[in-house]
Amino acid sequence: MSQKLIECVPNFSEGVNLDIIKQITNEVESVEGVRLLNVDPGKATNRTVVTFVGEPEKVIQAAFLAIKKAGELIDMSKQKGEHPRMGATDVCPLIPISNISMEETAEYARQLAKRVGKELQIPVYLYEQAQPNKSRSNLSVIRAGEYEGFFKKIKLPEWAPDFGPAENDVKRGATVIGARDFLVAYNVNLNTTSTRRANAIAFDVREAGRTVNDEHGKPKNVPGTLKSVKAIGWYIEEYGIAQISMNLTNIEVTPVHKAFDEVCDKAHARGIRVTGSELVGLIPLKAMLDAGKYFLRKQKRSVGVSEKELIRIAIKSMGLGELGPFIPEERIIEYLLKDKTASKLVSMSLAEFADETASESPAPGGGSISAYVGSLGASLAGMVANLSSHKKGWDDRWEEFSNWAEKAQVYKDELIRLVDLDTTAFNRIMESFGLPKSTPEEKTARDKAIQDATRYAIEVPFKVMQVALNSMEVIKAMVEMGNPNSVTDAGVAALCARTAVLGAFMNVKINASSYKDKDFVTDIIAKGNAIEQKAIALEAEVIELVNGKIGL
């Protein structure tokens, strides 16, 4: 992904009327090149969080149209809801996603704010990284007083808007536009209806904590236990429960699983039980994988399991499906951005993959098959590691084998990815041969495209060789120290890894034969020969160990 990408997550003060929400999101989808990822309405909060992504200029256009439409359809003089709010478009943050800095993103936020203020005549406040005045960069400080209080607040000199009129719009209110890091909006469900008790827990955990009087009766701040967390308690009539509503502003500092567990502990101390949780909007894949590993480690179980299983464990452990189904493909940002054509082969069933390979099409060919065979070898190594981690009587060694299983999963996932990449590399060569060659310029461009595609078709199978060889470290370790009942599984893994290396090297060599950079070819063939010899030697060593343990 080489283009610049930013994400926009506007919050609109309407969560009940789905027709209004659809009209707003239609404006987003009307901009070519912008991808609408998620629409998350909340009835009790009367608020909808919309997420879309694209190149900066297109995202800015989509955001402007959505803000304009929201102002036409939402009447703030009649709007009520549990969530704090100050305008029809309450807040509109931009988040850098790919190949763009925070400084650039902040400048785009200022461009959007200026346009909204000038063309729509809506009061606009900048926040977070887009706001140069740090005394008014915090969203909660800006929004204090909410819609009802802004008719007076906006008249104060220190609260003049950054753009637009210094007059709170009766129908549309005011809006806040800025740039920030990725934020996870996350609610934890409680078995109580008390907002006061929910707030007490929120104050226990949020970074800002609470204000109390010291022994002299003077106010002092007692910080909460979680850094980079904002939180309040509220009652959600729609569900009949109170929640801790949190914004996790830096999930590297306080990840979702840590926030969940801390709320569980603080709730328990107050005689309250957590029953589940709710994600608002989207979440990065890493956050879900980290959560799955965290809860498996608490159980002293191997974390070297599939991505799908880690996500399942995270959902179950945090009760993310309590209030409604949690569908990973609709809530994890990487899954929504994934190019489905890039995993065409690995998405097939085993029978479909075999049929496609056996068809008259030249791809998938030996390179993709080599990568897939290598992934099976790594999978078998991971299986032995997981069986060893959970073997009765080996409880004190679970973490050691978990680490081996985790390594095997990394190799397996990379080799799976290379299955489709090898076919993509072949298709690139075919496409480059099909380029026009009528003029000298076209011939030069075609020749360059062929050479670029050929180099890529060399590098992909060479990567297969490297990863398959590396997986043999896990394979050998599982033969030597793993569950003895699975020693032959590790032996088969070695056969697969060696096949992957030798098969991929054939593809390296045949593509290298037509590549014009002979220094590159000489170097990569030498490296390939070394990898091939290591794989052959390791396979022989593993097979000897396996046969020795079988004893026949």
Can you give the CATH number for the domain in which 253 is found?
A: 3.30.70.670
Which residues, 6 or more positions from 543, have their beta carbon under 8 angstroms from its beta carbon? 491, 494, 495
- The residue among 82 and 323 whose pLDDT is bigger is 323
Give the residue-averaged pLDDT of 261-266: 98
CATH of the domain at 129: 3.30.990.10
Kindly give, in sequence order, each residue whose CB lies less than 8 Å from that of residue 79, ignoring residues fewer than 6 positions away.
Answer: 13, 14, 46, 85, 88, 147
Clarify whether residues 241 and 363 are in a common domain.
no
Confidence of residue 238 (pLDDT cuts 50, 70, 90): confident
Q: Is the peptide bond before 364 cis (omega within 30 degrees of 0)?
A: yes
Give the pair of three-digit tokens for residue 357.
């390979």
* Phi-psi label, residue 271: left if phi above 0, alpha if psi -120 to 50, beta otherwise: left
Tokens 């070695």 locate to: 494
* Percentage, residues of the chain above pLDDT 70: 100
Query: Which of 295, 315, 337 finishes a domain?
Result: 337
DSSP letter at 239? Answer: T
83 is catalytic: yes
Do 344 and 313 lie in one domain? The reply is no
DSSP state of 485: G
How far, CA to CA in Å, does 148 sit from each of 136, 142, 154, 373, 511?
19, 13, 11, 65, 70
Nearest to 5 by CA among 74, 91, 100, 73: 100
Q: Which helix (H) or strand (E) element contains residue 498? A: helix 487-512
Task: Specify the pTM.
Answer: 0.81
Same domain, 420 and 522: yes
Residue 344 or residue 298, greater confidence: 298
Same domain, yes or no, for 322 and 362? no
- Backbone conformation region of residue 74, classed left if phi is above 0, alpha if psi is from -120 to 50, else beta: beta
Q: Are residues 332 and 350 in the same domain?
A: no
Domain count of the fold of the chain: 3
When pLDDT is averaged across residues 201-211 and rounded to a whole number, the result is 95
Higher pLDDT, 81 or 505: 505
Instruction: Evaluate whether 183 touches 280 at the Cβ level (below 8 Å).
Output: no
* Residues in CB range of 490: below 8 A, 6 or more apart: 380, 381, 384, 475, 478, 479, 482, 542, 546
Which comes out higher in pLDDT, residue 44 or 228?
Answer: 228
Burial environment of residue 43 by CB neighbours within 10 A (0 to 12, 13 to 18, 19 or more): middle
- Alpha helices by DSSP H, 120-228: 139-143, 146-153, 195-205
pLDDT band (50, 70, 90) for residue 1: very low
pLDDT at 64: 98
The residue with tokens 């179950």 is: 316
Max distance between CA atoms of the chain, in angstroms, equals 91
Residues 248 and 123 in one domain: no
Q: Does residue 53 surpass a pLDDT of 60?
A: yes
Number of Cβ atoms within 10 Å of the Cβ of 67: 27
In the chain, what percentage of residues exceed pLDDT 90?
84
Q: Domain limits at 527? A: 340-550
| Lookup: tokens for 175 | 């809006």
Domain stop point among 337, 364, 398: 337
* Per-residue pLDDT, 337: 80
| Three-class secondary structure of residue 484 per DSSP | helix
The answer to whether residues 294 and 367 belong to one domain is no
Selecting among 40, 162, 261, 422, the annotated active-site residue is 422
Look up tokens 């706001």; give the residue: 131
pLDDT band at 335 (very low <50, low <70, confident <90, very high): confident
The single-letter code of the amino acid at 272 is: I
Q: Which of the four pLDDT bands, split at 50, 70 and 90, describes residue 2?
A: low
Across-strand partners of 219?
213
Q: Please indicate, yes or no, whether residues 17 and 35 belong to a single structural domain of this protein.
A: yes
State yes or no: is 422 an active-site residue.
yes
List the structure tokens of 299: 């159980």
Over 70: is that where the pLDDT of 198 sits? yes
Residue type, 464: V
In 331-421, which ranges are E strands? none
d(C-alpha 201, C-alpha 224), whole Å: 10
Please give the Cα distance from 279 to 292 (Å, whole number). Answer: 15
Domain at 541, CATH number: 1.20.120.680
Shared-domain flag, residues 227 and 143: no
Catalytic residue among 75, 83, 265, 390: 83
| pLDDT for the residue numbered 343 | 78
Residue whose tokens read 């390179």: 367
For residue 402, what pLDDT is reported? Answer: 96
Do residue 137 and residue 261 come from a single domain?
A: no
Q: Is 322 in the same domain as 360?
A: no
Tell me the average pLDDT across 171-199: 95
Closest CA to 188 of 294, 259, 282, 265: 259
Beta bridge partners of 530: none
Which of 302, 337, 372 is at the close of a domain? 337
Based on DSSP, count helices (H) and strands (E) in the chain, helices before strands. 17, 13
The CB density around residue 498, as the number of other CB atoms within 10 Å, is 27
> Residues 205, 289: one domain?
yes
CA distance 504 to 181: 41
CA–CA separation, 267 vs 276, rounded Å? 12
**120-129 tens-digit pLDDT:** 999 999 999 9
Whole-angstrom Cα distance, residue 204 to residue 485? Answer: 50
Q: How many CB atoms lie within 10 A of CB 482?
A: 27
pLDDT, the chain, mean: 94
